[in-house]
Structure 1
Amino acid sequence: MVTQRIKNMTPSATEEMTAIVENMKRQNINVIGLNLGEPDFNTPANINNAAKKALDDGFTKYTAVAGIPELRSAICEKFKIDNGVNYKPNEILVATGAKQALFNAIFTTCEAGDEVILPTPCWVSYVEMIKLAGAKPVFVKSDESTGFQLNIPKIAAAITAKTKAIIINNPNNPTGAVYSEDCLKELAKLVEEKDLYIISDEVYEKLIYDGVKHVCIATLLPNKRENVIIINGFSKTYAMTGWRIGYVAANETLIKGMDALQGHITSSVNSMTQIASIEALTGQQQTIEDMKKEFNERRKYLMDRIKSIPELSCDVPQGAFYILPNIEKLFGKKYKGKVLKTSVDVTNFFLEAANVAVVPGEAFQAPNNVRISYSNSMGNLVKGMNNLENALADLL
């Protein structure tokens, strides 16, 4: 029998949909996957070549759990140049993806019975990581009418004597929202007044559009840096999802705790990936701009198509590669005699009637929405939206 801990855990809806899509493809069903949260671009050649050289040089042994010094120093330089914040190498830990970095941070800061505030909609794994740590997720809804900006008064009202931390994702998955500097200043003031941890997942920070500025919250808390934990990685920015490497920046005491925890789970990230990641940070950055330009074209196309479909509505996202259209107008309609009542019903309808895979909003604490990823080719986006529009016309 599995433990109660595992029974209480909800499997990842994004991973489940990926498995469904792969199974359909094996059956030669031409499904269009608009569900996957990874760039459809190849890892840049300079990064690949650095990993190949590491292999040829025999750099294939264990490294320190927290990462090789050269990579930790390169990450510090990245923070200084990109974010205007100074970290020391002993304040950096390299992990097996940003997901493990988050797991490390939550398990190092949260005790059983603690509460962690989560603005919603939010990424699926935050909830389960908090629960696995024995803590309680406290959801605070962000409104579509404000572009899903943080609702600071509601966050303040949710704070209790048990609150240990607030987790934000900036830019946000699944909404694509980028939090304004004014909004983050208000949040920083709240963190300082209440002496809370702020865990900021900034893995999409380079994928921002329309001239919008990304603000690292560490710059707004110079007197409370010991309370700030920044999560980032290479998967989204450098199309390195399969390489599995991310990192966390925090005060030295927390990093030592995370180092000890990771030492009993995975130990270090594989050695050649660390070398490749140094090249990612220090080598040419033009591929990021090229990728972002293509994402932006897809984003604009999707928003134009959504505007032309009466049953759907969507706020314009400013970051990442997702849109979160509202589907409330579809509730109550029928497909093959079945009434669509939830976003899961709508997702299943899209899959069956249009061969288009999206992710139900329930997974992100957004039951009136679905998440569509534009990390797919423009050709597939066009075909997918055509299929969706045709399927919607058949609803009763």
Structure 2
Amino acid sequence: MNSILSSDRMKNVHSDIRGPIFEKAMEMVSAGIDVLRLNTGNPATFGFTMPDSVRTALINNVDKAVGYCDLKGMPDARTAICDYHVGKGLLNLTMDDIFIGNGVSEVVNMAMTTFLNPGDEILIPSPSYSLWTNMAYIVGATPVLYRCDEACEWYPDVADIRKKITQRTRAIVIINPNNPTGALYSQEVMAQIIQIAREHKLLICSDEIYDRLVMDGLEHVSTAALAPDMPVLTFNGLSKSHIVCGFRCGWLAISGPRQQIGSLIASITKLAAMRLCGNALTQLVIPAALEDEESTKALIAPGGRIYEQREATIKALDQIEGISYVKNSAAFYLFPKLDAKKFNITDDKKFVMDLLESKHLLLVAGSGFDWPEPDHFRIVMLPEPKVLTKAMQDMGDFLSTYRQE
């Protein structure tokens, strides 16, 4: 029998966060080597625990999750999500505009399947979380990368966005706060992107999963709140803000003029019906989690773990010659830059592998986030401050003699 070939759509799909270098790290762990895994934003791995509000809601209501629930999600959960987004300025939103999925990944897949045809183009930031480019490939569309400018706080380059639009462009993705840079975009740059979408009649996909993890007294403003006249798909969830990544709790809120979003809602409803429903256990905790703002705020305030872990990381990085960075304002990611000339780095994946084998420290290369130059990498700042300090010191020791041949 001939080998079964993969679909052509899988050719460019990649997941460097859990790709070949990660597999090498797992081989090392199996061999008894202690590897510090700074590749995945998984707080529970580093001792974070879910809030008591979430645990109580789950325990007290678990019997309600035995059967299939509504195909869009439990009414109480969708009402809580709707109220949350209305509180952030989304006008005329109802619970019927909310779809709860098994993580944001599922609802992104459902959405892109409904509005993209083979050959269509979708604008996606670079760097970006690879979910977006991968899903575009899977549905047969073409991801077109627009550049975010490190020299301007990692804000999207509006001029580059304009240059990338063609007759095939159907939508634009905004990741704010951003993964992997941790940047929080200004309202000014958001207004410029929205205006481009308005002029070219583009659907806006706004990934806002880190909107509750914003530090330094800054405030996140939802894209849809700035564009009430535009169709906007807002993606969010509880994985990071309430330490429940394994619950796979994500959702989609669809807003905008009714005559423009009705067909999209109907199509996504068909896909939601096909999979019967999202995980009902996760939906039990949504109302309690969204009501509990304090547990999340405690993490990002001075003295809180996420805040102090960031401070420890950048303080240690400041001591390493040949590394620069833009301090993140949100999430728990940093996207530092290596001096390519100093280290002669032509292959960022080789750099990450060499570091893993030398110092047992696992990072993700910048190319894993669709960054075109081999000069960046992402750090997940989730271990305790002293662990991160030691990890950065180990990286500095490694770089003190490193140069690619």
**TM-based fold match above 0.5:** yes
Deviation per residue, 1:12-68 (Å, 9 max, x gap): 11122544434322222111111111224111122122222222x353100111101
Partner residue in 1 for 2:278: 269
Identical pairs, percent: 27
For residues 165 and 58 of structure 1, the distance between their equivalents in structure 2, rounded to whole angstroms, comes to 38
Superposed displacement of residue 330, structure 1: 6.4
CA distance in 2, matches of 1:85, 1:178: 23
What residue identity is the alignment partner of 1:11?
Answer: H
Residue 25 of structure 2: SS of its match in structure 1?
Answer: helix
1:52 to 30, 39, 59: 59
State the alpha-carbon separation in 2 of the partners of residues 77 and 83 from structure 1: 10
SS at match of 1:93: strand
- Equivalent position of 1:314 in the other structure: 325
CA deviations 1:272-300 (Å, max 9, x no partner) are: 21112222123x32210122232111112
Q: Distance in 1 between matches of 2:10 and 2:225?
A: 40
Which amino acid in the other structure matches residue 329 of structure 2?
Answer: Q
Unaligned runs of 5+ residues in structure 1 are 334-339
Write out per-residue CA displacement over residues 243-283 of structure 1, whole angstroms, 9 at most, x where no aligned residue.
0110001144323311211332x33122221112222123x
Mark the CA change 1:28 to 1:217 in structure 2 (over 3 Å): closer, same or farther.
same
Aligned counterpart, 2:288: 279
> Is 1:242 matched with 2:251?
no
Question: Partners in 1 of 2:264 and 2:14 — Cα distance?
Answer: 28
Post-superposition shift, 1:222? 1.6
Which residue of structure 1 lines up, in the alignment, with residue 166 of structure 2? 160
Aligned partner (choices 381, 384, 392) of residue 385 of structure 1:
392
**Cα distance, 1:378–1:54 mapped onto 2, change above 3 Å:** same
Moved more, 234-243 or 104-113: 104-113
Paired residue for 2:235? 231
Of residues 121, 126, 129, the one that matches 1:115 is 121
The answer on whether the counterparts of 1:54 and 1:60 sit within 8 Å (CA) in structure 2 is no
Superposed CA RMSD in Å reads 1.8
Counterpart secondary structure, 2:173: strand
Provide the TM-score with structure 2 as the length reference.
0.90
* One-letter amino acid matched to 1:233: G
Please name the residue that 2:7 is paired with.
4
Q: Which residue of 1 aligns with 2:258?
A: none
1:46-85 matched pairs, under 5 angstroms:
46-55=53-62, 57-83=63-89, 85=91
Partners of 2:170 and 2:203 within 8 A in 1 = yes
Correspondence for 2:335: 324
User: Is residue 199–residue 229 contact of structure 1 (8 Å, CA) maintained in 2?
Assistant: yes
SS at match of 2:298: helix
Q: Deviations over 1:299-352 (max 9, x none)?
A: 12212222221111111111111111111336655xxxxxx4211111112101
2:60 is matched by which residue type in structure 1? Answer: K
1:128 & 1:300 partners in 2: Cα distance? 33
Measured against aligned partners, the alpha-carbon deviations of 1:52-109 in whole angstroms (never above 9, x if no partner) come to: 2222x35310011110111111101111224454410111100110111111121111
Q: How far apart are the structure 2 equivalents of 1:11 and 1:84? A: 34
Corresponding residue SS for 2:378: strand
Does the aligned pair in 2 maintain the 1:328–1:369 contact within 8 Å? no
* TM-score (normalised: structure 1): 0.92
